[in-house]
Amino acid sequence: QVQLVESGGGSVQAGGSLRLSCTAFGYTHSMNCMGWFRQVPGKEREGVASFDSDGRASYEFSLKGRFTISKDNAKNTLYLQMNNLEPEDAAMYYCAAEGPAIATMTQDPTCYGRDYWGKGTLVTISS
């Protein structure tokens, strides 16, 4: 049974930084085929960053340079470092493993698996 648990969200001023964490219980793929997504109420879910089956990182183009995805296999934890946050970054951030969303974002069909999601962590930005 795979369970993904996000943490690290909160309220930060514009220009500030946050680091999100996603601990994966029962996931045994070196934290590959995992990634971060975000969603604002009333809008479609957006891919943020991910690792493919070989551990290569990919980013939503507009976020590259401000956001960095990383992982600690020993801790079974995926991270998202977010710097220079803007009001438009406010959203619920979700961690995901395998599944169509990951396969699409990574352009890696081998990531098309069981489709696991966490419950999300909320990021709010004050200007």
Q: Give the tens place of pLDDT for each residue, 30-59.
A: 889 999 999 999 999 999 999 999 999 999
Q: Collapsing DSSP states into helix, strand and coil, what is residue 22?
A: strand
Residues above pLDDT 70, as percent of the chain: 100
Residue 100: partners with Cβ closer than 8 Å, 6 or more residues away:
112, 115
Q: What per-residue confidence (pLDDT) applies to 89?
A: 97
Which of 43, 38, 70 lies closest to 56 in space, CA to CA?
70
CA distance 73 to 119: 21
Q: What per-residue confidence (pLDDT) applies to 64?
A: 85
Confidence of residue 97 (pLDDT cuts 50, 70, 90): very high
CA distance 21 to 6: 6
Q: What per-residue confidence (pLDDT) applies to 30?
A: 84
Answer whether 121's CB lies under 8 Å from 92's CB. yes
Q: What per-residue confidence (pLDDT) applies to 21?
A: 98
Average pLDDT (113-126) is 96
Confidence of residue 76 (pLDDT cuts 50, 70, 90): very high
Which of 119, 97, 114 lies closest to 106 in space, CA to CA?
97
Q: What per-residue confidence (pLDDT) applies to 118?
A: 98
